[in-house]
Amino acid sequence: MARWQPGARERLVMAAVDLFAEHGYDTTTVAQIAERAGVTKSTFFRHFPDKRELLVAGQDALSTLLTEGITEAPAAATPLEAVAAGLERAANTMGPMNRELAPRLKAAIAASTELQERDALKSVGLGRAMTEALLSRGTPAPIAHLAAELGLLAFKQGFESWTAVDDDSTLSQRTLAALDDLKAAATTLS
Amino acid sequence: MARWQPGARERLVMAAVDLFAEHGYDTTTVAQIAERAGVTKSTFFRHFPDKRELLVAGQDALSTLLTEGITEAPAAATPLEAVAAGLERAANTMGPMNRELAPRLKAAIAASTELQERDALKSVGLGRAMTEALLSRGTPAPIAHLAAELGLLAFKQGFESWTAVDDDSTLSQRTLAALDDLKAAATTLS
C-alpha cells in the first residue's frame, strides 16, 4: 500500500498514542506530545483543548454516524439492516490512519487502566446510542438491545480483523461480514 | 417485606454509595464513610484496603460465579443453557442488600464519570469472562461472543427490573426471564 502522509492533527494523535503506550497516559504531557509530533504547543491547542479530548474527539463523531445511519435507513429495513446501514456509514469514514494507529492505540490501552475504563465507557455509549436509535424507529426493546449489541460486536470484530492485516479490504466489508456471522450464530441459539 | 439488618461491612458499602452520590467519588474520604456507617476507620480497613476496593470487591466474585456456572454446566448443555447456569449461580448470591443498594449505586454512578468508566469496564470484563468460559467449552467463537452478550444483557435487564420493584420475585427468576426474551428476539432477527 502507498504510504499515507499525515497532517499536524494526525501526527499529534499518533505521537500521543505512542507516548501513552511508552510512558502511560497520566505522565505524558501536552509539551511532550507536541515535541514528538514536531509541532508547537500552540499548534496542539489549535487542534485539541487538552490531552483527554485528543482521545475522545473521534468518539462523538462515531456515535453520530452510527445513529444517523440507523435513523435514516428505509422504514422497511429490518433492525439488523438498519444497524448494518449505521455500521457502513461509520466504517466508511475510517481509512489508513485508523488502520496504522490501531496497534499502537491497543498497546496504549493495554498499559493503562484509565484508558481501559475510558474505552469501555465509549463502547457502552456506542451500544446505548444504537439501541436508542432503534427504539426511535419503533423496534421492540429486546430486539433493539440485541441488534445494537450485535452491531457493536460486529464493529469490534471487523475493526480487529481489518487492523490485523495489510490488504485491500475495507473496514466496511469486514464489519458487515462479521455482522453476517453473528446473525447466522443468532439463528442457531437454542 | 421485613427490614433486613445490615452488618458493619454492608453499612460501610451503603454509606460509601450514599456519600459518592452526594459529594462525588473523588472527594469522599474513608473517614467520612466510616463516620456515616457508625464505625471506626480501623473497622473500615479490616474490611477493605481502600475506597476503590469497596466498589470492586463484589465484581471479582460475580465474574467467578458466572464463569464457574458456565464451566460446570453439563457437557450436553447448549451455549445459552450454560450461560443460564452461570446467571443463576451469580443471581442466587444477591439478596435484599443488593436490591436496597441498587438505586443509590445508580445515583452515585450517574453523578461520576469516573464511576461510569469503572462500571463500563466491569461490564466489559464480565462479558469477556463469560465469552472465555464458553470458548473453553468448545463453543464456536461467534456463538460464544453472542451468547455471552445475551447473558450480560439479561443480567443487566433482570437486575434493573428486580431492583425497580419490591415484590417476592428473585433476581434469578427475572434474569432468566430476560434471557428467554432475548433468545426469542434472536430467532426473529433477519
**CATH number of the domain where residue B15 is located:** 1.10.10.60
Which of the listed residues B33, B50, B67 is the one where a domain comes to its end?
B50
A137 and A82 inside one domain: yes
Give residue B138's region: left, alpha or beta (phi > 0; psi -120 to 50). Answer: left
**B156 touches A: beta carbon within 8 Å:** no
Q: What does the block give as the cell for B103?
A: 438505586
CB contact under 8 A, B186 and A181: no
Best of A59, A121, A123, A179 to substitute, by most chain B Cβ atoms within 10 angstroms, is A121
Q: Is A3 within a domain?
A: no
Nearest-Cα distance to chain B for A153, in Å, is: 8
Q: Is A129 within a domain?
A: yes
Find the residue in B nearest to A182 (Cα): B142
B104 and B143 inside one domain: yes
Task: Give the count of domains, chain A.
Answer: 2
Q: Could you tell me what percent of chain B has a pLDDT over 70?
A: 96
A97 and A30 inside one domain: no
CA-to-CA separations, B102 to A75, B4, B50, B60, in angstroms, rounded = 38, 15, 21, 18
Q: What does the block give as the cell for B149?
A: 452478550
Q: Over the stretch A1-17, which tens digit does the pLDDT of each residue have?
A: 445 567 888 889 889 98
Q: Which of B34, B52, B51 is nearest to B43 (CA)?
A: B34
Which residues in chain B are closer than 8 Å to A189, comparing Cβ atoms? 78-80, 143, 146-147, 150, 183, 186-187
A27 and A110 inside one domain: no
CB contact under 8 A, B142 and A185: yes
Best of A146, A160, A182 to substitute, by most chain B Cβ atoms within 10 angstroms, is A146
Which residues in chain B are closer than 8 Å to A187, comparing Cβ atoms? 186-187, 189
pLDDT bin (cut points 50, 70, 90) of residue B4 is low
Show the domain range for B181: 55-186
Determine which of A121-130, A137-146, B6-15 has the lowest per-residue pLDDT on average. B6-15
Find the residue in A nearest to B179 (Cα): A142
**Which stretches within chain A are classed as H helix?**
8-23, 30-37, 41-47, 51-71, 79-91, 96-110, 113-136, 141-164, 171-188
- pTM for this structure? 0.82
Nearest-Cα distance to chain A for B113, in Å, is: 9
Determine contact, residues B162/B133, Cβ cutoff 8 Å. Answer: no
A12 and A74 inside one domain: no
A35 and A124 inside one domain: no
Nearest-Cα distance to chain B for A38, in Å, is: 32
B17 and B63 inside one domain: no
Sign of the torsion angle spanned by Cα atoms A83, A89, A92, A93: negative
Q: How many A-B residue pairs are in contact by the CB < 8 A criterion?
A: 92
B63 and B83 inside one domain: yes
Residues 20-79, chain B: which have Cβ within 8 Å of A?
78-79
Q: Is B93 within a domain?
A: yes
Determine contact, residues A147/A83, Cβ cutoff 8 Å. Answer: yes
B171 and B127 inside one domain: yes
pLDDT of residue B111: 83
Q: Is B3 within a domain?
A: no
CATH code assigned at A115? 1.10.357.10
Q: Is A2 within a domain?
A: no
A66 and A45 inside one domain: no
| Cα A131 from Cα A19, distance rounded (Å) | 35
Kindly report the average pLDDT of chain A as a whole number.
Answer: 89
CB contact under 8 A, A189 and B116: no
Q: Is B89 within a domain?
A: yes
Q: What does the block give as the cell for B112?
A: 461520576
Nearest-Cα distance to chain B for A94, in Å, is: 24
Nearest-Cα distance to chain B for A96, in Å, is: 27
Q: Over the stretch B100-111, which tens digit does the pLDDT of each residue have?
A: 888 888 888 888
B62 and B115 inside one domain: yes
pLDDT bin (cut points 50, 70, 90) of residue B2 is very low
Average pLDDT over residues A150-176: 93
Q: Is B107 within a domain?
A: yes
pLDDT of residue A47: 92
Q: Could you tell me what percent of chain B has a pLDDT over 90?
A: 56
**A179 touches B: beta carbon within 8 Å:** no
A22 and A46 inside one domain: yes
- Closest partner CB to A149 (pick from B153, B184, B188): B153
**A150 touches B: beta carbon within 8 Å:** yes
CB contact under 8 A, A143 and B188: yes
Q: Could you tell me what percent of chain A has a pLDDT over 90?
A: 56
pLDDT bin (cut points 50, 70, 90) of residue B151 is very high
ipTM attached to this prediction = 0.76
pLDDT of residue A44: 94
**B135 touches A: beta carbon within 8 Å:** no
Q: Is B2 within a domain?
A: no
CB contact under 8 A, B120 and A117: yes
Q: Could you tell me what percent of chain A has a pLDDT over 70?
A: 96
